Amino acid sequence: MAPRAATGGALPHRPRAQIVLALSGAWSILPPYLGQLLAGTCFLAGLWQAATHVPLVLDGGGSETPWASVLLHSSPGLPILAIALWLALRTSAAEL
């Protein structure tokens, strides 16, 4: 993974732009297929974040992986997953 200075301080694997767009008022003016695409992208990103950090959580508490850093590093996956799933279901229900 690139150092933070090389990426401008932002971590590229977190879908910040999609979440901000999804939670703002701009979500309602998007075409339905684009809204579902953004929600699906956020869902896959949250699933990836949560699933790939399971080994880190299982190894947490050791000398190289203190619990504070493990929890801070692995915590964004589940909220992103939940918000994206809610947005995808809400978008699907609005189309019916």
Would you list the domain boundaries of the chain? 31-96
For 29-53, write each residue's pLDDT tens digit.
767 678 788 888 888 988 998 898 8
Distance (Å, rounded) from C-alpha 46 to C-alpha 79?
Answer: 8
| CA-closest candidate to residue 12, choices 54, 45, 39 | 45
Q: Which amino acid makes up residue 4?
A: R
User: Do 32 and 59 touch, CB atoms closer than 8 A?
Assistant: no
pLDDT at 92: 66
Q: Which amino acid makes up residue 20?
A: V
Q: What is the residue whose two structure tokens read 């799933």?
A: 85
Q: What is the pTM of this model?
A: 0.61
